[in-house]
Amino acid sequence: MLKKVAIGGVALLLLLSAAGFFWARSILATETVRTALAAQISAAIRQPVTIRSIDAGIYPRVTVNLRGVTIGEPARIEAETLRLGTAFSALLSRQIVHGSVRLDGARIELPLPPLGPLGTSSAQSGSGGWPVEIVSIDEVLLNNVEVVSGAARSAATSKPFHMEMA
């Protein structure tokens, strides 16, 4: 009898995990969310932002994976992947608490374009504000990030500054 209850519990856990995965993908990994995120980030920093694709996962925490992110015109910041994660319980309250940010395969060209301050854009001061409030980010990971200065202006006469963080 105990063995049947344990097997049933494991099966229920697997079923709930699968349902959670498909729920996260159907809600978070949509074209609407991709364009809304690009518009919100663009409004916040006052620079054009494009996101090529979006994906979502739930293990070990709810994560949104943004691929092909570019900032600026012409693009001064390019990232292969930007992962944003938070606890599921916080997300139910429309908050990011103890969040994590992981930037993979990025190129940042200095000087950066002038970025607008957060909190002063007209998009945020609208009736509803942002759909999700960032309360805390506990972890920022940079993997294969290249910071370049001077290379775009005159590659023949100046030596570019190069820094990689892993």
pLDDT for 104-145, tens place per residue? Answer: 999 989 887 777 665 444 444 444 555 667 788 899 999 999
Instruction: Evaluate whether 61 touches 85 at the Cβ level (below 8 Å).
Output: yes
pTM over 0.75: no
> Is the model's pLDDT at 41 over the cut of 90?
no
> Is the model's pLDDT at 78 over the cut of 90?
yes
> Is the model's pLDDT at 55 over the cut of 60?
yes
Q: Which residue bears the tokens 């916080």?
A: 90
Q: Who's near 64: CB < 8 A, 6+ residues apart?
A: 28, 29, 33, 37, 54, 55, 56, 83, 84, 85
Its domain, for residue 88, covers 2-165
| Number of domains present in the structure of the chain | 1
**pLDDT for res 124:** 44
Classify 143 as helix, strand or coil. Answer: strand
